[in-house]
Structure 1
Amino acid sequence: MQRRLLHTTRHTLSHIGSSPVFLTPDVKLSSVQMLVPTVIPKGTQKIVLNRLLSVAGPKGEINLQIPDFVKMDAGNPAVLKIEIEDEKNKIQKSMWGTYRSLINNAVVGVTDGHSSTLRFKGTGYRVMLEKDAKTGQEWVKMKVGRCNVEGLPIPEHIVCETPSQTLLVLRGPDKQKLNLFAARLRNMRPPEPYKGKGIYFNDETIKLKAKKVK
């Protein structure tokens, strides 16, 4: 009778980290050593970001700070493999998938771009785009249940569109900066749990609470 093994000594690879990043011919990668590294504390240890990876494509260029233990195998011009120095190192293994995702997001961003949407729900809620006559800076202006109009200037490399008065579409190559700007707009009027009024990010939904009875 064959005994069933409850555990294995075989080392498990990161499913995300070991997945390849697919490149198009118009994507260019270059890496340089940073003069002043960025140190990130990680418990009793630390991660030193000492290399600057530049990903350039038709939509723009994105720079990523990466540590030395992240290795990139570009033997095939159409496929980029992300590896780490020591698969038994806990910190390296935990960050393997993270840096693979960051590099993949950068490649997708400079080729196809990223997009996010904000939906405005509430009586009188609406969004509009306005350009400052003096500076030429374009702004996102919103009416979200207050007397005054609120808004933020649109950062560089982010394009905003308003298909309707209650929908804002944001596009850009850098996913992190794009979602950060979307989050800043959403935080001006996040969805409230009783009537559901507010600004919703992408497919966000909330569970409504019962109204308080005095």
Structure 2
Amino acid sequence: MLKGTTLGCIRQFSSTLAKPSHIGKAPIRLLPGVECSVERIPFEFTKSFTKKRHTFQLNKQLVVRGPMGTLKSVVPDFVDISVDNGAVHVSVEDPSNKYQRSSWGTSRAILHNNVIGTSEGHLAIVKLVGTGYRVTVEKEGETTFVHVKVGLPYIPKVKVPAGIEATSPNPSRLLLQGIDKQQVNLFAATIRKIKKPEPYKGKGIYVNGETIQLKQKRIK
């Protein structure tokens, strides 16, 4: 027992209840030239996952077609969409089910990113901070490579995945563009791993306006 308290007077950390964000219910406005539909996945190619005693089938894919390309994302069987007056509404069979409710907002967010990606594209900005740090984009045949010079005894060479365009407006900046937001940010994170920002001088590779809190160097 804590001093100065009784069993019936222990203060709680929070007196407010958790509130859902209702992201899944928000409609997605379709931009000009973008179409959205649902396709069934053949049974032999269907995957499944289990949550406790419940098994869900991944037998649907949301297909988004736009001026910049087509994106497909696999969703559980309980997720469905409807298009009305140029807006897409995402729904689930049983909103009171915990697992369906947790996938509701995720499916809506992925679909929203795909709508933006197929119409406008996604951009990741990679910034190099440090004396002599520089990045170059070179093409070898049909393959594009990013060369990163960050003070290592060798110069790392990273292959640019298909569907991503890499350009370097100046030696300390790298622009990554693509229709798939996940793949663009994943490739940016791969480059960042080469030289993560260090907390004393702030040297390293930063992504999308990333900042760190600098520490003071210990003096012995």
| Global fold match (TM > 0.5) | yes
Q: Is the 8 A contact 2:59 2:74 kept in 1?
A: yes
Q: How does 1:41-190 map to 2 (within 5 A)?
A: 41-76=50-85, 78-132=86-140, 135-190=141-196
**Structure 1 runs (4+) greater than 3 angstroms displaced:** 40-47
**1:91-137 CA distance string (max 9 Å, x none):** 111111111000000000000111010110011100110111xx331
Q: Secondary structure at the match of 1:164?
A: coil
Could you tell me how far 1:43 is from its partner in structure 2? 4.8
Q: Identify if the C-alpha distance between structure 1 residues 44 and 210 changes in structure 2 by more than 3 Å, giving closer, same or farther.
A: farther
Aligned-residue offset at 1:71: 1.5
The structure whose residues are more often strand, as a share, is: 1
Matched, 1:20 2:27: yes
Structure 1 gap ranges (5+): 1-5
Task: Tell me: CA distance 1:183–1:198, structure 2 relative to 1, closer, same or farther (3 Å).
Answer: same
Cα distance in 2 between the residues matched to 1:43 and 1:143: 48
Count of residue correspondences: 203
- The alignment partner of 2:59 has SS state of strand
Deviations 1:146-179 (A, max 9, x none): 1221121111111112111101111110000110
Distance 1:190 1:29 in 2: 38
Taking the aligned partners of 2:218 and 2:56, their CA distance within structure 1 comes to 49
Structure-2-length-normalised TM-score: 0.85
Aligned to 1:194: 200
Q: Is the 8 A contact 2:137 2:145 kept in 1?
A: yes
Instruction: Report sequence identity in percent.
Output: 40
Distance 1:208 1:41, change over 3 A: farther
Of residues 39, 60, 64, the one that matches 2:48 is: 39
Check the 8 A contact 2:166/2:174 in 1, yes or no. Answer: yes
Structure number, greater radius of gyration: 2
Aligned counterparts of 1:59 and 1:86: Cα–Cα separation in 2: 34
Aligned 8 A contact 1:151 1:185 in 2: no
Segments of 5+ residues of structure 2 without an aligned counterpart are 1-14
